[in-house]
Chains A and B, each alone.
Chain A
Amino acid sequence: MSEEHENPESSYRPSSPDLSGFTNANAPPPRLARIPSYNVPDPNFPPGYSFSPRGSYDASPFFSPSTATPSTSYFGSRPQPPSQFSQQSPYSPQAFRTPSLPGQIPVQHSPPFQSRALGQPTYNNPPPPEYQQPSSRSPFSQTLNQPYLPPFPAQVTQYGDMPRTRRQQAAEAQQDPDFLVDASPKHAVQPKAESAQPVQPPMPAVPTDLTAGIDVRTKFPVARIKRIMQADEDVGKVAQATPTAVAKALELFMIALVTKGATEARANNSKRVTAQHLKAALMNDGQFDFLNEICENIPDESSKKGRAKSEAKSEDSDEEIKPKGKGKSGRKRKADTDDESD
């Protein structure tokens, strides 16, 4: 609380003499250029000190016209004659006092200063020590004025960084999108080399083409894979990197299955890979024995053209749609398989 009490005072005091300096600089010399008027406050501080009572009078009307744009206020203060100044003097304290009532804590400090300014004999005695403090702080405010320009773009940068921080938090909360965005360009290059080993087609001529060409850029959602892994009650905690590795393994697995299915379809002189082609390919390969239960679910049919194929496809689709609609568990699926076998 003490710091807060002191800080607004320090922040308030240097600002007022700076404004008075501007007013003194603008009133006597009629200068049209804004740049020299901005430079003038430095040499005018000593005359501002000698004209301390007038400085206070100038400061008050400076606040009143500042409702308009600051440039307009600067121009307005210059042509004001002393008669108008004297007329405005009685209004300025009232106007200045009224905003102080709803004002904040630092504004409450300004009324005693104003009352002292009004009392000239009382103001004469304390002015030198009080004014010395703002005079000593004025160079500090000047040093602060200089960084005023750079801090504005700095603030803009800060404002720009805030959404970045939020994005980082969002990225931390959801690793999938961040990983998808960042990994996709790199993954585009690496899979060409990595897919060489996992893909092992039976034909000797094919491996070179398949390994060189196959490059999958689509990624599985990592959160979904983690959920499927933890659907098993035995599975407990999973490291953050594990679903990523499992997603990659699943992609390589699918590449192998699709490649085998395509090879089988081509062997049967067909451009459409059907469930039967996949079944034949998987049953022949010992590496995929664990998929035999799923393969048994698909009926065997000879390659017939015309209505026979369409009927077979419709039957397969119907069979597969029903269990999904019921939403059964893995065990129930096995039970269904047993029922169908019976």
Chain B
Amino acid sequence: MSDKDFGNNDDLSLPKATVQKIISEILAQIPHDGSPATGREGEMTFTRPARDMLISCSLEFLRMLSSESNEISERESKKTISVEHVEQALTDLGFGSYIEGCRGVVGEWQEVQKKRIGRGEKMRNFGGFDKMGEDELRKMQEALLGEARGRMEGGGAGGQEAQ
């Protein structure tokens, strides 16, 4: 990796606001034990150094996962890293428990893709005019254009008479 690739470090880091949101959501859902030692109940907080360390660990995890997935795709002599390669990489790295979560998200993503395709097809049968041929639709449009021209001509004549 050359230095030029990391010229703008902000683009190659995780957004801190997103990380902070995720940390807050996780800490809010961790049950608080009213232990006698602590004596006080409430949400736990994450210090700024700990958050920065968490970001560094996440970036390291991301790079490790990417390089491992890339190696797996190269073994299979494929140029594109697919979800299967990522799942295999997770297994090799010892994070097999994450695979089900990833499959769930990918399933949702595929459903979203199908909806988009469906919308594209619906445009063809727009407004229930799918039964009418293209010629009839063209005639309707030209009739409307003719009517608009008639109104414009009438407007022009009226204007001149007013003068």
A interface with B by C-beta (< 8 Å): 7-8, 10-12, 14-16, 19, 62-68, 73, 91-92, 94-96, 98-99, 103-104, 106-107, 110, 141, 144, 147-148, 151, 154, 157-158, 161, 164-165, 168, 171-172, 178-179, 182-183, 186-187, 190-191, 194-195, 197-198, 200, 206, 209-210, 213-221, 224-225, 227-229, 231-239, 241-242, 244-255, 257-259, 261-262, 265-266, 269, 271-275, 277-279, 282, 287-288, 290-291, 293-294, 298, 313, 316-317, 320, 324, 327-332
* Binary interface encoding of chain B residues 21-48 relative to chain A, with 1 for a CB under 8 A from any of its CBs, else 0: 1110111011101010110101011111
In the complex, which of the residues A96, A232, A246 has the most CB atoms of chain B within 10 Å of its own CB atom?
A246
Task: Report yes or no: A231 in contact with B12, Cβ–Cβ below 8 A.
Answer: yes
Task: Report yes or no: B153 in contact with A328, Cβ–Cβ below 8 A.
Answer: no
Known: A194-B104, A249-B102. A320 touches B52 (CB 8 A): yes
Task: Report yes or no: B81 in contact with A19, Cβ–Cβ below 8 A.
Answer: no
Known: A104-B149, A278-B50. A241 touches B82 (CB 8 A): yes
Residue in B1, B19, B80 whose CB lies within 8 Å of A232: B1
Residues of the B chain whose Cβ atoms lie less than 8 Å from the Cβ of A183 = 105, 108-109, 112
Give residues 127-149 of B contacting A (CB, 8 Å).
127, 129, 138-140, 142-147, 149
Chosen A-B contacts, 30 in total, with CB atoms closer than 8 Å, are A11-B146, A63-B150, A65-B158, A67-B154, A103-B153, A168-B119, A195-B101, A197-B101, A213-B30, A215-B25, A216-B26, A218-B21, A228-B13, A241-B82, A245-B87, A252-B101, A253-B95, A258-B22, A272-B45, A273-B44, A273-B46, A275-B53, A277-B50, A279-B53, A290-B61, A294-B56, A313-B48, A317-B49, A317-B52, A329-B1
Whole-angstrom CA separation of A62 from B81 in the bound complex: 71
Task: Report yes or no: A168 in contact with B120, Cβ–Cβ below 8 A.
Answer: yes
How many inter-chain contacts with C-beta < 8 Å in the A-B complex?
360
Task: Report yes or no: A95 in contact with B160, Cβ–Cβ below 8 A.
Answer: yes
CB distance from B22 to the nearest CB of A (A): 5
Residues of the B chain whose Cβ atoms lie less than 8 Å from the Cβ of A179 = 109, 112
Residues of the B chain whose Cβ atoms lie less than 8 Å from the Cβ of A15 = 143, 146-147, 149-150
Residue in B12, B30, B56, B151 whose CB lies within 8 Å of A227: B12
Task: Report yes or no: B25 in contact with A187, Cβ–Cβ below 8 A.
Answer: no
Whole-angstrom CA separation of A164 from B115 in the bound complex: 13
Residues of the A chain whose Cβ atoms lie less than 8 Å from the Cβ of B58 = 250, 253-254, 257
The A interface, classified by DSSP as helix, strand, loop or mixed, is helix
Task: Report yes or no: A262 in contact with B27, Cβ–Cβ below 8 A.
Answer: yes
Q: How many residues of B contact A (CB 8 A)?
A: 110
CB distance from A309 to the nearest CB of B (A): 10
CB distance from B60 to the nearest CB of A (A): 6
Task: Report yes or no: B98 in contact with A244, Cβ–Cβ below 8 A.
Answer: no
Residues of the A chain whose Cβ atoms lie less than 8 Å from the Cβ of B157 = 63-64, 66-67, 92, 95-96, 98-99
Residues of the B chain whose Cβ atoms lie less than 8 Å from the Cβ of A8 = 142, 146
Residues of the A chain whose Cβ atoms lie less than 8 Å from the Cβ of B160 = 94-95, 98-99
Whole-angstrom CA separation of A294 from B58 in the bound complex: 11
Chain A residue at smallest Cβ distance from B28: A213
B77 at interface (Cβ–Cβ under 8 A)? no
Chain A residue at smallest Cβ distance from B29: A213
B interface with A by C-beta (< 8 Å): 1-3, 5-9, 11-15, 18-19, 21-23, 25-27, 29-31, 33, 35, 37-38, 40, 42, 44-50, 52-54, 56-67, 69-70, 79-83, 85-87, 90, 93-95, 97-98, 100-106, 108-110, 112, 115-116, 119-120, 123, 126-127, 129, 138-140, 142-147, 149-162
Task: Report yes or no: A236 in contact with B80, Cβ–Cβ below 8 A.
Answer: yes
Chain A residue at smallest Cβ distance from B4: A329
Task: Report yes or no: A271 in contact with B87, Cβ–Cβ below 8 A.
Answer: no
Task: Report yes or no: A214 in contact with B26, Cβ–Cβ below 8 A.
Answer: yes
Known: A250-B61, A294-B56. A158 touches B86 (CB 8 A): no
Task: Report yes or no: B123 in contact with A165, Cβ–Cβ below 8 A.
Answer: yes
Known: A213-B29, A239-B82. A273 touches B105 (CB 8 A): no
Chain B residue at smallest Cβ distance from A233: B1
Known: A197-B97, A237-B79, A254-B22. A320 touches B154 (CB 8 A): no
Residue in A107, A215, A248 whose CB lies within 8 Å of B29: A215
Residues of the A chain whose Cβ atoms lie less than 8 Å from the Cβ of B81 = 229, 235-239, 242
Residues of the B chain whose Cβ atoms lie less than 8 Å from the Cβ of A16 = 150
CB distance from A106 to the nearest CB of B (A): 6
Known: A252-B98, A266-B33. A278 touches B140 (CB 8 A): no
CB distance from A160 to the nearest CB of B (A): 11
Residues of the A chain whose Cβ atoms lie less than 8 Å from the Cβ of B154 = 62-64, 66-67, 73
